[in-house]
Amino acid sequence: MFRPIWLCVLVLFVKNLTWSSPGQLENRIVNGSNASIRTFSYHVGIEYNGTYLCGGSIVTPRKIVTASHCLIERPFVNLYKVRGATSIVSTGGLIFDVEEIRQHPLFNNKTYDFDVAVLILAVNLTLGPGIRVIPTQPKGVEIPDGYTCVVTGWGAAYWGGNLTKQLQVVTVPKYNTQRCAGFHDSNVTDNMVCFGYEEGGKDACNGDSGGPLVCNGYLGGIVSWGRECALPQKPGVYTKVSNMVDFIFKD
């Protein structure tokens, strides 16, 4: 089943999730481990109307990058908040108002092509412990097959699960794009990149949508979609950040 990786959470129910869609009632990125925001301090939570929605990444003191599918049918800018400097979902840390939302004009909500959005904060972040910028991968850079990157998030530990309280991290290798497209029976475009293991077992899941995939210190991907979570020969699909640099940093 196609999973978008954002969580539409009401109490503990999950709806229409792809890359970050939790499975049942559980707690994390699949087969990940506890992570500290001091280590992954570019990671933030995006909330809408007081409820956790998706992950995001700090790319400048004023800009948060996330997945465009997270914002579908959530048009009221004043209801968005960004929570940073905390390892615990929807708890503690610092909360920031959002001034503007920019979804990629070519975003396709059926194929998830161009699945990227930028939240412009009302004020610049003060960088420090728990709050820092992650550089984006340079324009046009391709990640080689087999190269390992790290994904962080508060998503479920299995398909259909609940959000994790503690931030999680997992390492996944780059998966060959052609094989990925064949296994998913869908159009994996040039704006997407796949990560995961042939045998499955480690993956992002429900609730991780919009969060960062970081490769050698650079934001290389945005959690976008997948088929359930951590299935064999069903790697996760991420927005390719190196194709989105112009949009992300447009004034």
Which helix (H) or strand (E) segment holds residue 145: the answer is: none
The residue to which tokens 């550089």 are assigned: 135
Selecting among 87, 90, 104, 115, the annotated active-site residue is 115
User: 184 an active-site residue?
Assistant: no
The residue to which tokens 């976008």 are assigned: 224
Q: Quote the tokens at residue 162.
A: 């609940």
Which residues have a Cβ under 8 Å from the Cβ of 170 and sit 6 or more positions away?
29, 30, 31, 32, 33, 150, 151, 202, 203, 204
User: 69 an active-site residue?
Assistant: yes
Cα-trace Rg, the chain = 16
3-state secondary structure 62-104: CEEEECHHHHCCCCCHHHEEEEECCCECCCCCEEEEEEEEEEC
Angle CA(20)–CA(227)–CA(79) in degrees, nearest 5? Answer: 25
- CB-CB contact of 148 with 197 (8 Å): no
The gap from C-alpha 88 to its chain's centroid, in whole angstroms, comes to: 16
Selecting among 43, 69, 104, 184, the annotated active-site residue is 69
Q: How far is CA 237 from CA 5, 159, 222, in A?
A: 10, 15, 9
Selecting among 20, 87, 209, 242, the annotated active-site residue is 209
The residue to which tokens 């497209």 are assigned: 181
- CB-CB contact of 30 with 158 (8 Å): yes
The gap from C-alpha 108 to its chain's centroid, in whole angstroms, comes to: 17
Residues labelled as active-site residues: 69, 115, 209
